[in-house]
Structure 1
Amino acid sequence: MAAKEKPTKPIKVTHVIFDLDGVIIESESVYEKIAAEIAEEYGKTYPIEVRAKVMGTPEPETARIICQELNLPITQEQFIKKYEEKVKKYLTNPDLLPGVEDLIKHLHASGIPMAVATSSREDLMQMKTKNYSNLMSLFSHVVCGSSDPEVKLGKPNPDIFLVCASRFAKKPCLCHVLVFEDSPNGVAAARTAGMQVVMIPNPDLPKDNPMRTNANQVISTFSEFSYEDFGFPPRK
């Protein structure tokens, strides 16, 4: 099923799903640095067109896309080994995105069930969030697409969001679920799942990327998020 061409008007939200990288933690620039370093080892550059294809994908798909698009003389397995060594070096203490902590705490205080759906493996997710245990405890559950056996296909397929929604204590109607995403693949996955989406795109993402128009809202920072549009209590 293809993502809808135009988003419907926002409706009241009962459940919220957050992506992790580029939404809760500022890690996308680090991933770009890591991939660029590996590409540079083989005399290659890492252009925005390839970066856009990679955003939001699970690690095996990330490796496949980069190796194929850049024609790297290494296997996907060799790329993943290099990639994960650098992730463990650079991403032990990432920053939170500005405003996301206040948003999460406000939604929690308002009684909105929340979860995280990340393409990362569980061990890497734990490493990246170990300094934010109090904040992560506000989520009912976390789905890690690269290691969860129920997530058969990565973004832009909807599997991770459908699995995540199914694990809420009270199963939501999918059209009442709101996803916060930064990547075109993530927006496509959420829309295909029948959910609403707020996109916080990478500043380098081309303005004409179709996923920008496929989101219900596009914001550059969480301070721009309109709570009332989705039926949330306003910030005091």
Structure 2
Amino acid sequence: MKINSAQAPNIAPAQFALFDMDGLLLDTEIIYTQVTQRIVGRFGKTFDWSLKGNMIGLPDTVSANYLVRALQLPISVEDYLHERDQLLRAKFPSCKAMPGAENLIRHLHNHHIPIAVATSSSREFFALKTSNHQDWFELFNIVVTGDDPDVKRGKPAPDIFNVAAKRLAASPQNTLVFEDAPSGLAAGIAAGMRVIVVPDPNMDKSRYRRAERILNSLKEFNPAEFGLPDG
């Protein structure tokens, strides 16, 4: 689904692509939801999209602090994260690929387009989530995680995309960012890049007005619209 008007002809063609991971390449959000509800349910609370929509894509400590405060949970942020992470570790290896994700990555790799993962996940969680998808995640030229020492601030700050672009030797005007979260959209725009978003169906689409394109899945992405190989 195209939301914005067609790009102007004077816009530089894309030569690099940076990808968020959770909810975009891998279907991990359902795991986060199940685990979070399991924890907050003990206190008679409900974790729904009125909360999750404000947490998705943010660094762990930021989103956890928001949740604990919003639901007035009788536990500390640290205790919540400790329990959550223990449960997540057991579930992450079972996560599935999102529709169109593997095909797009293989397509860009086969056409020698430099690509990078730029995820707020830690290096440990990245390894767990991708453990059953290594055959296509190893096609990425660069992986930057949220605990990378060069990433000083999490999304919506542009740091992680700036670091990934620097390591790819990419210029912002020639770089596409693929995201699912409003915070990731803001980070990509702050980095001076064009952003394609694939929001969860439950998200309010009005939060993505500044995106270059809003898609229902990565299957809808048309490389030729951005000067990328389409064969």
Match of 1:202?
A: 200
User: Which deviates more, 36-45 or 152-161?
Assistant: 36-45
Match of 1:151?
A: 151
The question of whether the paired residues in 2 share the 8 Å contact of 1:18 and 1:180 is answered with yes
Alpha-carbon offset, residue 48 of structure 1: 1.5
The question of whether the paired residues in 2 share the 8 Å contact of 1:57 and 1:156 is answered with yes
Paired residue type of 1:92: P
The question of whether the paired residues in 2 share the 8 Å contact of 1:7 and 1:214 is answered with no
Match of 2:182?
A: 184
Corresponding residue SS for 1:197: strand
Alpha-carbon offset, residue 11 of structure 1: 3.9
The question of whether the paired residues in 2 share the 8 Å contact of 1:13 and 1:176 is answered with yes
Counterparts of 1:7 and 1:154, CA distance in 2: 31
Paired residue type of 1:217: R
Corresponding residue SS for 1:180: strand
The question of whether the paired residues in 2 share the 8 Å contact of 1:11 and 1:229 is answered with no
Counterparts of 1:7 and 1:72, CA distance in 2: 46
Match of 2:229 among 213, 221, 233: 233
Corresponding residue SS for 2:112: coil
The within-5 A match list for 1:1-236 is: 9=8, 11-145=12-146, 147-168=147-168, 171-209=169-207, 212-235=208-231
User: Which deviates more, 33-42 or 21-30?
Assistant: 33-42
User: Which deviates more, 10-19 or 121-130?
Assistant: 10-19
Counterparts of 2:62 and 2:105, CA distance in 1: 29
Counterparts of 1:50 and 1:200, CA distance in 2: 19
Paired residue type of 1:228: A
Pairs aligned (count): 225
The question of whether the paired residues in 2 share the 8 Å contact of 1:14 and 1:113 is answered with yes
Moved over 2 A (4+): 6-11
Paired residue type of 2:181: S
Counterparts of 2:181 and 2:53, CA distance in 1: 7
Counterparts of 2:61 and 2:205, CA distance in 1: 28
RMSD of the TM alignment (CA)? 1.7
Counterparts of 2:39 and 2:12, CA distance in 1: 43
Paired residue type of 1:155: K
**Runs of 5+ unmatched residues, structure 1:** 1-5
Counterparts of 2:122 and 2:170, CA distance in 1: 25
Alpha-carbon offset, residue 150 of structure 1: 1.3
Q: Give the fraction of aligned pairs with identical amino acids, expressed as a percent.
A: 35
Paired residue type of 1:124: F
Counterparts of 1:164 and 1:52, CA distance in 2: 26
Corresponding residue SS for 1:134: helix
Paired residue type of 1:164: A
